[in-house]
Chains A and B, each alone.
Chain A
Amino acid sequence: MAIDRYSYPFTAIVGQEQMKLALVLNAINPAIGGVLIRGEKGTGKSTAVRALAKLLPEQQVVEGCHFGCHPDDPEDFCLDCRERAKAGALPVTTRRMRVVELPINASEDRVVGTIDLEAALKEGARRFEPGVLAEANRNILYVDEVNLLDDHIVDVLLDAAAMGINTVEREGVSVSHPSRFILIGTMNPEEGELRPQLLDRFGLCVDVEGIRDLDQRVSIVEKRAVWEDDPTKFYQQHAESEQDVRSHIAEAIATFPEVELPREILRLIAQLSITLEVDGHRSDLVCARAAQAKAAYDSKEKVGPAQIGEVAEMVFAHRVHSVPFGKGGPNLSEVISRMIGQS
C-alpha cells in the first residue's frame, strides 16, 4: 500500500551520498535491480527511501489496469490488457512511479493477491483481487527491515523477482500477471543476515554509517528541528533543489540509453569482476547499467573510468566473497581505485 505523508525532502538529507546516488540511479534505470541499504540504526535509511518517492519520474500506464501495464510494451501486457488491446487502442494515462511498501506483517494472500470477495459474493464469480506484487509492477517495492521478513514471504518475493511474473494458484483463482519491481530494502545487520539468494537480487548495495563530522551532525539535528516544526514550509524551502534533482532524473531517463559504453570500459568492468572473484555475470551487467545511468545523470555522453569508480563499490559490496585478499590485504575500495587508476 502506498502511503502519502509528510516526507522529509531528499535533498535535505545531509551526507550519505552513496546511498542517495544508489537510489537515484535506480530511478533512472530500473534494470539496475534495486538497492539494499545496510547500516547502523538512525542513519536515515528509511527516510531516504521515502523521500525518493517525490522525485520519481512520471510514466505512461494503461488506464484502469491493475498492474499499470506499459502501453507500448504489448509483450508484457497482463491478460486484461491483452483482451482490451484486441478491441482497439488502449487508453493511456501518466502517473508518477510509486514506492509501494511491503510491511513485515504481510500475509501471503495480500502479497500475491487472492480471490475478489465481493465478486464472489455477488455473482459467485472467481475473480482475482490483485495484491502488493501487482501494485508493485513498474514501481518500487520497499521492504523496511528486510532481514526480518518471513522466509515464506521472501520465497514468494524471490519467485516473482526471478521471472518478473507473479503466478497465483489459490482459492480457485489461477492468474499470472507481470510483476517487475525495483526492490529496495533497508536493514540493520545487527538484527541478522539476509538470505544469500535475496541478497543477490539487489543490484546495488550501500553500507551507511553515522557521520562523524561535527558540523554535519549539527546540521542534521538543526534541519530536522525545522522540519518537525513546520514540514510544509520546510518542504517549500527545498522545493527548488527537489525540482532540480527531479528534472535531472527525468533528463537522464531520456538520455541514458544513448550513453556510450566504450569497449575498454566493458573490459575494465570485466577485469574488476575477475579480480574480485565474484560469482556469475550479474555484476558486470549491473555495473555497466549503473555507470551508464551515472553518466547520463552527469550529462556525459560516454561512460568513463570516473563513473565506474563512483558506482563500483555499490555494485560489488555484497558480491565479493568474504574478502579475497586475505588477512591484512587491501579492502574493496582500495582495489577498485587501484584498478581504475591503472586503466
Chain B
Amino acid sequence: MSVTLDRHVFPFTAIVGQESMKLALILNAIVPTIGGVLIRGEKGTGKSTAVRALARLLPEHLVVEGCHFGCDPDDRGALCAECRQRLAHAGVLPSHKRRMRVVELPINSSEDRVVGTIDIEAALRAGAKRFEPGVLAEANRNILYVDEVNLLDDHLVDVLLDAAAMGVNVVEREGVSFAHPSRFILVGTMNPEEGELRPQLLDRFGLCVDIEGIRDPDQRVLISERDAAFKKGDHEFATEFAAADHNLSRALVEAIVAVKKVRITSAQARLISSICVEAEVLGHRADVVIDHAARALAAYRRHATPNRDDIYDAAALALAHRARQPLRRDEEETTSPEQGDKQEGSKESESDSGEPQASESDSASDSTAEQSSSAADSGQQSAGSDQGMTTGGASGSESSPDATELFNLKRIDLPRQRRIRKQGGKRSTSQTADRRGRYVRAQPRAKVNDLAIDATVRAAAPMQVDRGRLPGERLKLERDDLRQKVRERKIGNLIVFVVDASASMDAEQRMAATKGAILSLLQDAYVRRDRVAVVIFKNRTAEVVLRPTSSVSLARRRLEKLSVGGTTPLTHGLMAGYKVVKTELLRDPTIRPLLVLISDGRGNISMFKEEPLVEAQKIAAMIAAEHIDALVIDSARDYSHLPSVQHLARVAPMYQTYAINACADLAERMGARYYGLYDLSRDEIASAVERELGRGGR
C-alpha cells in the first residue's frame, strides 16, 4: 500500500516529540480492540494534528460493497441485518478494500445525527419509514474522533456510552427501530483545564496520555521549522516525510499481521494483573487493555512475546487514567501474589482509597491533599473518616453510615424542576429554539420551527386517502399536520460551593456544618438534576475536590476526606469556583449556576501579587459582572444583621485586622446575599441556597 501525501494534512512522522501520544495512536491502529485513546494536554500541543495525521497511516481493510456500516465480510457474526440478508440471498458478499477512516464527532452534533434518524426524503416522498444512518454507523470499524471530548453534551455522552458498551447502536426513535454494529476506536482530545470527563466515559478509553508542551529549545525550533516548511509546501519536506510516513505505514501493516502470533505467557498475565491490583484500578477493563496493548507493542517492536518493558509501557498508557495508586516499575522479576496482597492491604489502611474515579491528575492532587491534611486533621474528623474506611471501605459502597451520623442529615424537600415550571413556556420555547436536548415527543404548535418529521408524517398519514393521494405520489401535507419537537434536557442548577478549609474553619465544627449542608442538597439532587461541585481552598491553593456531579456516593466519599488547616488563599478559591462555573456554562449555556462562598473572608495568600483582600474584591466584581448568582455565608459570624463593633471584637477578633467586614463587603461586590453561618443551621444553609435559586423565577 502506498501513502499519498495530502497537502492539508501534516505528516505523522514530522510531529516532533510527544512519543507516548504517537505510540498510543499506533497501538490502536494495530489492535483496535484496545479501545481508543484519550489525549489530555494543554492547548497547542499537536493533539488534533496527530489524530488527523494518523488517518493516512491507517491500514486498509475489507468492507462489504455498498454497506452503510462497512461490515467485515469475513466476520459473519457481526454483519448488519442488510448484509446478512444479502448473504442469505446471494451466498457471497461483494467486498473491496478501504482505508480505515477518522470519523469526527463534532461536539455540537444533534442526537439524531449521531445515532441516525428517519430518512426525511423517504418519509415525505412515500411516507416510508427508512433509517438514515448517523455518525455511529459511519464510525463502525473506524476511528471515532471527538475533539474537546470533555465539552460533549451530556446526552451525547450517554448515547456514546450506550453504543460503546455493546458495539451495537440500537435506535428506537422517531418511528424507526433499527440496530446496527457500531464498533469504533474512540479517540478523544481534551484540555483538562476546561473540565473533567465523566468517569464512565473516561473508562471507555483504552489508553490515555498526558502531554505537555516541549521545553527543549532545539525541539521547539524544529517544530517551527517543520511547520513553516509544511505551510510553504516545501518539496523537500514533503518527500522526506512522505517516505517516513510510508515506512511507518508498512511497519503498521507488518505489526497487524505479527500481532496475531504474539502470545502472552501465564507469568506475563500474572504480572499484568498484579500491576492492576497494585494500582487499585476499578473493574477489569484495565487488565484486558494492557494485555492487548502489550501484544501490539511487542508486534510493533518485533518481539515474539512482550518483554517487561513492553508490559510496563503498555501499563503506563492504560493506567494513566485508571490508577488510584502510582504505577511502580520495580525491577524484581515477578511480584508474588502474596506480596502484592500485602502491599495492597497496607496501602488501604494508610490512606482512604475510596477514590471512585481514577484520573491521574485527580489522584495526584488528592494524595497531596491527603498528606497536607493528615497533619492538620482534627481528631473528630479523622475518627469519622476512619470509620468510613472500615465499613464503607474502598468498595464504593452506597451508604456510608458515618456521613449520616456525623452530619445528621435531614431530607430537604426542594420543589422539583422549579425552573421550567416557574418560567413557564418562556423557558421551553427558548430551549426548542436552540434545538438542543433530546427529542422526546411531538405536539401540534401554531408556529413550527423544529419539525418532527416522524410525527408529522404520522399525523398526515390517515388523511392521505381522503386527500386523494395516489400510491407513489408525494405525501399531501397540510398545515395542521405539522408537529413540533418537544425536547427535554437534563437541565438544572449547578451549585458550586467554594469552601474555606483554612485553619480557622476548624473551630466549632464549621466544616461539619458545611459538609452537612452540601450532603443534604445532594440527597435530592439526583431527582431534580441539580448538580453540585465543591472547591476547597487552603494552604496555598484551591482545588476542585468534587467536579459537578449528581452522584451522592461520589460526593460523600469526597467530602469525608475533607480536612482543614493552613492559610486562606481566598482568591485562589474564588477563581477556581469561577472557572468551574464558566466551564459548565461553556458546555451548556442553559444551566443556572449558583456560587456559594463559605468563608470568613479573610484571605491572606496572594495570587496575583496584590493585597489578598483587594484581589478577592476584584474577583468578586468579576463574578458580579458575569451575572453569576452568588451567596456568601460568613463562617465567622453568628447572625446576619450587622454586628456592633464590640460584638465583633468579642466573637471574631480577627475582624480588627480589617477596617471593614470583609465577607459582607465581598458579598456586596458579588451582588450576593449575605448570611452568617450560625444563624443558619445546616438545613438553613440548604434552604438559603434554595431561596437563592428560587429567586430565579424572576
Contacts and interface: CB of A to CB of B under 8 A. Distances in A.
Do A and B belong to a common assembly?
A: yes
B280 to A, nearest CB: 9
Contacts of A145: 158, 161-162, 165, 200
Nearest to B442: A109
The residue among A41, A103, A150, A196 with the most chain B CB atoms within 10 A of its own CB is A41
Given A212-B344, A220-B287, A327 B440 contact: no
A199 to B, nearest CB: 10
Interface string A95-133: 000000111111111110011011011111110000110
A40 B286 CA distance: 12
Interface string B377-408: 00000000001001100011111111011100
Contact of A189 (B203, B286, B553): B553
B273 A218 contact: yes
A100 to B, nearest CB: 10
Contacts of B529: 151
Contact of B170 (A40, A103, A120, A122): A103
Contacts of B270: 214, 218
* Interface size grouping (class) on chain B: 35 or more
A212 B277 CA distance: 6
A40 B396 contact: yes
A126 B454 CA distance: 15
Contacts of B77: 5-6, 231-232
B269 interface: yes
B356 A190 contact: yes
Given A107-B172, A210-B282, A152 B166 contact: no
A124 B465 contact: yes
B171 A42 contact: no
A163 interface: no
Interface stretch (A60-68, A221-229, A270-278, A306-314): A221-229
Contacts of A123: 465
Contact of B553 (A190, A210, A224): A190
B440 A104 contact: no
B200 A3 contact: no
Interface stretch (B456-464, B572-580, B676-684): B456-464
B291 A221 contact: yes
Nearest to B335: A214
Contacts of B169: 103
A323 interface: yes
Interface string B135-165: 0000000000000000000000011011001
A328 B403 CA distance: 11
A40 B440 contact: no
B698 interface: no
B177 interface: yes
Given A214-B273, A328-B401, A105 B111 contact: yes
Nearest to A186: B165
Given A191-B198, A328-B391, A104 B173 contact: no
A148 B276 CA distance: 28
Nearest to B260: A229
Contacts of A41: 199-200, 203, 282-283, 285
A217 B278 CA distance: 13
Nearest to A172: B462
Interface in B394-431: 395-402, 404-406, 409
Given A1-B170, A105-B171, A188-B200, A151 B488 contact: yes
A301 interface: no
Contact of B272 (A3, A5, A144, A221): A221
A192 interface: yes
A205 B444 CA distance: 41
A211 B284 contact: yes
Interface in A295-343: 320, 322-323, 325-329, 331
Contacts of B441: 107-109, 152
Interface stretch (A43-51, A239-247, A284-292): A43-51
A109 B175 contact: yes
Interface string B199-216: 110010000000000000
A109 B452 CA distance: 12
A44 B158 CA distance: 18
Contacts of A323: 399-401, 404
B457 A102 contact: no
B352 interface: no
A195 interface: yes
A123 B463 CA distance: 9
A44 B277 contact: no
Given A5-B77, A103-B172, A190-B551, A224 B161 contact: no
Contacts of B159: 104-105
Interface in B332-350: 337, 340-341, 344
Contact of A217 (B198, B264, B284, B442): B284
Nearest to A225: B291
Given A102-B172, A110-B173, A120-B462, A189 B283 contact: no
The residue among B173, B266, B490 with the most chain A CB atoms within 10 A of its own CB is B173
B508 to A, nearest CB: 21
B464 A121 contact: yes
Nearest to B485: A107
Contacts of A114: 175, 458
A5 B463 CA distance: 41
A104 B344 CA distance: 38
7 contacts: A42-B286, A109-B455, A115-B458, A122-B471, A124-B466, A150-B488, A189-B551
Given A41-B200, A42-B288, A192-B549, 10 more contacts: A43-B282, A104-B158, A109-B441, A110-B175, A117-B457, A121-B127, A171-B459, A190-B396, A207-B397, A323-B400
Interface of A: 1, 3, 5-6, 38-44, 46, 50, 101-111, 114-115, 117-118, 120-126, 131-132, 144-145, 148, 150-153, 171-172, 188-196, 207, 209-212, 214-215, 217-218, 220-222, 224-225, 228, 231-232, 320, 322-323, 325-329, 331
Interface of B: 33, 77-78, 111, 115, 127, 129, 158-159, 161-162, 165-179, 181, 198-200, 203, 264, 266, 269-270, 272-274, 276-277, 281-288, 291, 337, 340-341, 344, 356-357, 387, 390-391, 395-402, 404-406, 409, 438-442, 454-455, 457-459, 461-466, 469, 471, 488, 490, 526-527, 529, 549-554
Closest 4 CB pairs of A and B: A42-B283, A42-B285, A120-B461, A124-B465
